[in-house]
Amino acid sequence: MRVTIVGAGVLGTMHAWHAVERGHEVVHIEREDEARGASVRNFGLVWVSGRASGPELDTALRARELWERIGRDVPELGFRPNGSLTVLRTEAELAVAAEAAARPDAAVRGFRLLDAAEARTLNPALRGEFHGALWCERDAAVEPRTAQRALRAKLLASGRYTFLGGREVREVVDGSTVRDDHGELHTADAVVLCTGAWLGGLVRELVPGLPVRRVRLQMMQTDPLGEQLTTSVADGDSFRYYPGFAGPGLDALKAAHPQHPVADEHRMQLLMVQRRDGGLTIGDTHEYDQPFGFDVVEDPYTYLAEVVERILGRPLPPVRRRWAGVYAQCTDTTRVVHRQQVRDGVWLVTGPGGRGMTCSPAIAETTADILGL
């Protein structure tokens, strides 16, 4: 079959990967020269730990398997099964972690509750004061700034993949034929639109009232730490944002311990991953009300730096980069993704939200199965 995929972020690239792997030909169209959206502006986390039990967790676990397999084929992805530690600084956070570690699906997530000494043995860079940590063995990481580029190079080597950057698809002409802004027609057996946070234009015309919203975030990256951060790191605020931790313990935490005012205002959690060059990617914030600001706000960066320094027990290296990004999220946040046939042979796949980097290989695999690839 011949497949046209629109959008070269991680979700579109994984759709291309599955189609080529199954022996089909792919024409991949991207309006930028290469991906510039949320797919390169994230942590690179393959984040199993906080996913809601049921379809979301199943999707994340399958995606984790696929990331590891693809990482063996494409070492440049920088896949590493480093796990994560959620650092616990209050007794209330310890109670949430203990509750999560006692659930029936704790083993498949790789949960284990550690005391502070055990956590420091696993990650010696954590020299600050804390009560313990929740270890999630199944979490992993890749390099978001280079992952799509590495995957594309591997796809090009197949001889069944064509990448057309700097082209915007403007129209579905007839069946599974699309027209780009160069006036060129692309006819295929199937079209998959993975347009990310681009929800206007053609997407709005095809699906008025699409149940997907845009979410803005702020992040930063430091100079090299000078030592290895052996795991990804989260703080207890992450319990408030991931559905896998919902329960009486979390209810008690929210009632007794309101978030820091800056964290509450910007809907924040700490996530931290070390890049291959030794720098730390640190975030993040969540902004839902549009129109989004055009600038970045300094208070969240100051707050995150203070939290990281307390956990590391040392000053943070100088910040090298700050940025904002926007991703698409289903308005019904219990849904992993919005997948809809919008014309004969044309499918729209969007809205995974903060799950995009984690779940994209499994989301794309399901789409390939539905399309009979």
Q: Which residues in 138-289 belong to E strands, given as ranges? A: 140-141, 161-165, 169-174, 177-180, 185-187, 190-193, 212-222, 232-235, 271-274, 280-283
Contacts of 1 (CB under 8 A, 6+ apart): 19, 24, 25, 188, 189, 190, 373
Domain extents in the chain: 1-55+142-211+334-373
Range 192-219 average pLDDT = 96
Own/partner contacts of 366-370, CB < 8 Å, gap of 24 or more, are: 366/339, 367/15, 367/18, 367/192, 367/339, 368/15, 368/18, 368/19, 368/22, 370/339
Give the residue among 81, 74, 65, 61 at the shortest CA–CA distance from 13.
74
Range 191-208 average pLDDT = 95
Q: Give the confidence band of 175 by pLDDT, cuts at 50, 70, 90.
A: confident
Range 205-225 average pLDDT = 97
Determine contact, residues 22/70, Cβ cutoff 8 Å: no
Range 301-322 average pLDDT = 97
Largest CA distance in the chain: 63
Give the residue among 292, 282, 309, 295 at the shortest CA–CA distance from 219.
282
Range 336-354 average pLDDT = 96
pLDDT of residue 256: 92
For the purposes of burial, counting CB atoms within 10 Å of the CB of 235, is it exposed (0-12), middle (13-18) or buried (19 or more)? buried
CA distance 10 to 8: 7
Is the pLDDT at 131 greater than 90, yes or no? yes
pLDDT of residue 174: 86
CA distance 340 to 347: 6
CATH 3.50.50.60 corresponds to the domain 1-55+142-211+334-373? yes
Residue-wise pLDDT for 29-85, tens only, equals 999 999 889 999 999 999 999 999 999 999 999 999 999 999 999 999 999 999 999
For 61, the 3-state DSSP assignment is helix
Range 288-317 average pLDDT = 96
Q: What is the CA radius of gyration of the chain?
A: 21
Q: How many CB atoms lie within 10 A of CB 179?
A: 16
Q: How many CB atoms lie within 10 A of CB 194?
A: 30
Range 15-39 average pLDDT = 96
CA distance 97 to 25: 47
Beta strand pairing call for 45-46 and 161-165: unpaired
Residue-wise pLDDT for 134-157, tens only, equals 999 999 999 999 999 999 999 999
Residue-wise pLDDT for 228-253, tens only, equals 999 999 999 999 999 999 999 999 99
Range 320-344 average pLDDT = 96
